[in-house]
């Protein structure tokens, strides 16, 4: 998924280079966030791999796992939301900008 997110950022970067709506800093920040996204993916892999070893009768351990899963899911949502915001900024003006150039 990281490569796909990086591909989306690459597309947005190329389109933005024609219209300059999104700042370079905003795009750079999202590229930097890709490392955090990779780490998050790794955290999820570890959680999924360790699930079978968790005692399902230990409410504390299950709750810890569920809280960690919640943290991972909401952080993924945040990453996608940030990229979606960039996409929306470009989407709102791209066609008009290139048609009026």
Please tell me the predicted confidence (pLDDT) of residue 27.
96
pLDDT of residue 89 exceeding 90, the answer is: yes
Q: How confident is the model at residue 1 (pLDDT cuts 50, 70, 90)?
A: confident
Q: Which of 1 and 15 is assigned the larger pLDDT?
A: 15
Residue 68 domain flag: yes
Residue 7 domain flag: yes
> What size, in residues, is the chain?
101
Residue 41 domain flag: yes
pLDDT of residue 101 exceeding 80, the answer is: no
Residue 53 domain flag: yes
Burial-class residue 47 by CB neighbours within 10 Å (0-12, 13-18, 19+).
Answer: middle
Range of the domain at 19: 2-95
Closest listed residue to residue 26, CA positions, set 18, 16, 35, 36: 16
Please count the structural domains in the chain.
Answer: 1
Alpha carbon separation from 7 to 15, 50, 72, 82 (Å, rounded):
12, 30, 22, 15
Residue 101 domain flag: no
Per-residue pLDDT tens for 24-78? 999 999 999 999 999 999 999 999 999 999 999 999 999 999 999 999 999 999 9
Residue 77 domain flag: yes
Residue 61 domain flag: yes
């Amino acid at each position: 998924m990281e490569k796909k997110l990086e591909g989306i950022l690459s597309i947005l970067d190329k389109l933005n280079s024609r219209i300059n709506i999104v700042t370079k800093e905003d795009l750079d920040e999202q590229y930097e966030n890709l490392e955090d996204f990779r780490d998050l993916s790794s955290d999820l892999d570890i959680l999924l791999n360790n699930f079978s070893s968790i005692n399902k009768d230990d409410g504390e351990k299950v709750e810890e796992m569920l809280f960690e899963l919640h943290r991972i899911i909401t952080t993924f949502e945040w990453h996608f939301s940030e990229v979606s915001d960039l996409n929306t900024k470009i989407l709102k003006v791209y066609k008009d900008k290139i048609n009026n150039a």
